[in-house]
Amino acid sequence: MTDLALSVCATVSARFGAHAQLSLEVYRDPEIEDEYLTLYLRQQDYDRNLLEAIEDICEEYEEELAERSGSLLVTTDFRPPPIENYGF
């Protein structure tokens, strides 16, 4: 899964550029015994087509993800990246 996660990160980074922050985290569901990788995309300004663009990227990897054990969710929480990412 690591190689696939790195490939997805590279694709998301190339698509959204240097001002996007990527955070790869393990999500642990508090209600059931489940955990999976989540790649959060954070930007200072959000485009109205962001979720559609994320969906397009996910479709690129859909077959490859189906062949692996585990899951990788690519999403956003619409929070701005930490200010230190902008050199202020």
- At 8-66, the pLDDT tens digits run 999 999 999 888 999 999 999 899 989 999 999 999 999 899 999 999 999 999 999 99
* Structural domain total, the chain: 1
Asked if 75 and 54 count as a contact pair (C-beta separation under 8 A), the reply is yes
CATH number at residue 36: 3.30.70
Asked if 15 and 49 count as a contact pair (C-beta separation under 8 A), the reply is no
Amino acid symbol at 68: R
Question: pTM value?
Answer: 0.84
* Residue 43, strand partner residues: none
**Cβ neighbours around 74 below 10 Å, total:** 21
Asked if 24 and 18 count as a contact pair (C-beta separation under 8 A), the reply is no
Residue-range definition of the domain harbouring residue 42:
2-86
